[in-house]
Amino acid sequence: MYNYVMLIGKIKNFEKITEDEYVLRLACKRPFKDVFGEYKIDVFNIQVPGALGSILEERGKNVDETITVKGRLFPQFGGEASRIIAERIIYMEGE
């Protein structure tokens, strides 16, 4: 078994929460149209560890820049939804 998540989307927000934790909001278009012929957008909050977050911060928080996030799900207990933890971020040039 393997815990693996990959999302491709546009940066909507990026902020520092603590000294070694960041949160990235990523907007991802669904790969299919709804009954009205439109693509819906899902927005995910992704937890970014300090080292990776500082690299993102240095690169710049370019809203609407397309990136790929490779990560994993971190299960929550007590009825909360699972969190996505980023492990790698790749900037998509020319998108």
Predicted confidence (pLDDT) per residue in 38-86, tens digit: 999 999 999 999 888 888 888 766 778 899 999 999 988 877 778 999 9
User: Yes or no: is domain 5-91 CATH 2.40.50.140?
Assistant: yes
Give the angle subtended at the CA of 30 by the CAs of 15 and 95, to the nearest 5°: 65
Contact 52, 41 (CB under 8 A): no
Per-residue pLDDT, 61:
64
- pLDDT at 5 > cutoff 90: yes
Instruction: Summarize pLDDT for 23-36 with one digit per residue, the tens.
Output: 999 999 999 999 99
